[in-house]
Amino acid sequence: MPVKVIDIGHDPETQTHRRLADLPDRVVEGDPHHDATLNFASPDGQLIAGTWTSTPGKWHAFTDRDEFCYILEGHVRLIAEDGSAQTYRTGDAFLIPDGFRGYWEVIETTTKHFVIRHHGHD
């Protein structure tokens, strides 16, 4: 079977909707809701790619992963444990390396494309 190039944002494999407050001890501010479209998952499930949208809120960042993000629209801030912050808006791209500890803050509803390599279990 030939290997197919994955078109992120089209032909979703799965779609999920969740209220982040349903994850105990995750949310710090607000009531963020997440919609995700998964376009790719490797056979071992360790590499995934797709599109994600979140309403405003602030939560503890997930760990044990590398995550590349490209902001399609919106405004977010990543805040490290030491209080330093980086802000990203429409058109920005960034990589959150495994080991980052801190917070995601969605200031305006944000949609991003993402690629995540898992290193453990959250």
- The 3-class SS string of the chain reads CCCCCCCCCCCCCEEEEEEHHHCCCCEEEECCEEEEEEEEECCCCCEEEEEEEECCEEEECCCCEEEEEEEEEEEEEEEECCCCEEEEECCCEEEECCCCCEEEEEEEEEEEEEEEEECCCC
pLDDT of residue 12: 67
How many whole angstroms separate alpha carbon 1 and alpha carbon 119? 28
Distance of CA 67 to the CA centre of its chain: 7
Domain 14-118, classified CATH 2.60.120.10, yes or no: yes
pLDDT of residue 10: 75
118-18-81-87 Cα dihedral, nearest 10 degrees? 100
pLDDT of residue 16: 86
27-83-118-38 Cα dihedral, nearest 10 degrees? 50
> Among all chains, which residue has been given the structure tokens 């197919």?
4
pLDDT of residue 81: 95
pLDDT of residue 63: 86
pLDDT of residue 20: 85
Residues in Cβ contact with 80 at an 8 Å cutoff, skipping those fewer than 6 apart? 100, 101, 102
20-58: per-residue pLDDT in tens? 888 778 899 999 999 999 999 999 999 999 999 999 999
Q: Which DSSP category does 99 fall into? A: T
61-111: per-residue pLDDT in tens? 988 999 999 999 999 999 999 999 999 999 999 999 999 999 999 999 999
pLDDT greater at residue 15 or residue 56? 56
pLDDT of residue 120: 66
Q: Where are the domains of the chain?
A: 14-118
Is residue 122's pLDDT more than 50? no
